[in-house]
Structure 1
Amino acid sequence: MMLTIQDFRKTYDDRPVLTIPQAVFSQGIHWIKGRNGSGKTTFFRSVAGLVPFEGSLVLADHYDIRKHPLDYRLRVNYGEAEPVYPAFLTAWELIRWVAATKRAPKQQVDELIDLFGIREFVKTPVGTYSSGMLKKTSLVLAFLGEPTLILLDEPLITLDQVTTNVVIEHIRKNRHQGVSFLLSTHQDIDPTELPVDSTCIIQNQTLAPLTQPV
């Protein structure tokens, strides 16, 4: 299995906000639905290894987030819904740092900068960026390295149609290369453009399947 979740529990101030007794994701694209405030972002940040939680996460039947924390995080990337970066940094500085930590191939940085169209502002401070520019920068960061799993929280918001098409096509390309995705979006997904292998929903403080994996 691509991702196995066991006895997951996330609390804030001893108040449970998300409990998942067990969930298994096969390789592919999985759509995570849920209302605002349901816990989607908490779930994504937990799977990405950015916030503490109780329970077990195992990637590719091998990389346990607790037993192999570095190897696990090296293989899991996360693109935030509304990214916030230090205003004085440039996209170039952020990309160089993430590329180093993710051991990204040298040519990949330039390829992603051009793919998502951030070349013209990549060396200006992010404090001057529009929401669309910030989103494009976050997408570059999300695809760096050689991940097994990419988490994309609302990947299409604030993007123009051209960039939206680029994102969808790049997800498809990476899927064919063996990369899996957990996507969260309020926008409808056209199955002819982006085939989804399963759909789940976060509600009532847990994760439940809406469709079975294919």
Structure 2
Amino acid sequence: MPTIRARALTLRRGGMPVLQDLSLELGPGLHALVGPNGAGKSTLLRALAGVLPPASGAVEIDGHDLWREPVAARRRLGYLPESPELFPYLTARELLRTANAVRGAAPEAGEELFGRWVRPAALDLRIGSLSAGQRRKLALVAATCHEPSVLLLDEPDNALDAAARADLLELLARWTDEGRLVVVSTHRPEALGERTRRLVVADHTVRAG
């Protein structure tokens, strides 16, 4: 069963505490991180993904310490940052195959989804020529095509049109039905459905909403 455990986690930004002495345990299902801008939603996701080292405390992914067992922990993770850095000179196919090689996934993983979500010919276009919405779709596919049990998605619907947002909701529902753990930072939690657990980030902590 996929789990995230944070113990006595303190996160700082520019030397100032963003979240302080946070303990949190999440299991399978769809969890929405909500709260005002600057409250620490993105900072928390970065820490849970192993991108931001905590000032103190620990994070476990499926029972594996994120910093002591990084390979085992991160193999189970899929992380989409709010502003992912993509390589504009690569084609979409090259990016996906590189990501798959790093994560041990099948070389062609994600190509069918991206081709269906955009169009098959877009796989061989350079990323720099794609629209903002197409790049967002590519980043989401690249972050999740190794079928992780834990998904951390920071504003995944940014730059997506209405049709793509509907496709994203279908993906979130499928992942939830498969028993995965999905955490989404969003300003529109109502769009995620009634099965979503809300987690409010405010006042240096996280509470159930």
Tell me, which stretches of 5 or more residues in structure 1 are unaligned? Answer: none
In the TM superposition, 1:125-140 aligns within 5 A as: 125-140=126-141
Q: 1:141/1:7 Cα in 2 relative to 1: closer, same or farther (>3 Å)? A: same
- Secondary structure of the corresponding residue to residue 110 of structure 2: helix
- 1:107 offset after TM fit, Å? 5.0
Question: Equivalents in 1 of 2:115, 2:165: separation in Å?
Answer: 15
**Equivalent position SS for 2:128:** helix
79-88 or 153-162, larger mean C-alpha shift: 79-88
**Aligned counterpart, 1:91:** 92
Amino acid at match of 1:42: T
Indicate the SS of the match to 1:6: strand
Contact 2:115 2:122 in 1 (8 A): no
> What residue is the counterpart of 1:72 in the other structure?
73
Amino acid of the structure 2 residue aligned with 1:58: E
Match of 1:195 in 2: 195
Deviation at 1:87, TM superposition (A): 2.5
Identify the residue that residue 8 of structure 2 maps to in structure 1.
Answer: 7
CA deviation profile, 1:6-64 (whole Å, cap 9, x unmatched) = 0111123432222243111121110100222221111111111112112111122x211
2:87 and 2:127 in contact (8 A); partners too? yes
**Residue 15 to residue 6, structure 1, CA distance change in 2 (3 Å):** same
Give, in angstroms, the shift of residue 204 of structure 1.
1.6
Counterparts of 1:72 and 1:194, CA distance in 2: 30
CA RMSD of aligned residues (A): 2.0
1:6 and 1:22 in contact (8 A); partners too: yes
Q: Which amino acid aligns with 1:99?
A: N
1:118–1:137 CA contact under 8 A, matched in 2: no
Give the structure-2-normalised TM-score: 0.89
1-structure distance, mates of 2:30, 2:47: 18
Aligned ranges for residues 145-184 of structure 1 at < 5 Å?
Answer: 145-184=146-185
Contact 1:44 1:153 in 2 (8 A): yes
Match for residue 58 of structure 2?
Answer: 56
Structure 1 residues 13, 152: CA separation in 2 closer, same or farther (over 3 Å shift)? closer
User: Matched residue of 1:189: which SS?
Assistant: helix
Query: 2: distance between equivalents of 1:87 and 1:20?
Result: 39
1:172 Cα offset (Å) = 1.1
Q: Taking every aligned residue pair, what percent have the same amino acid on both sides?
A: 26
Matched to 2:33, the amino acid is I
Q: Structure 1 residue runs of 4+, over 3 Å off?
A: none
TM-score (norm 1): 0.87
1:151 is displaced (CA, Å) by 0.8
Matched-pair contact (CA < 8 Å) for 1:154–1:185:
yes
Unmatched runs of 5 consecutive residues or more in structure 2: none
Give the 3 Å change call, closer, same or farther, for CA 102–133 of structure 1 in structure 2: same
The answer to whether the 8 A contact 1:102-1:146 is kept is: no
Whether 2:208 is the aligned partner of 1:206: answer no
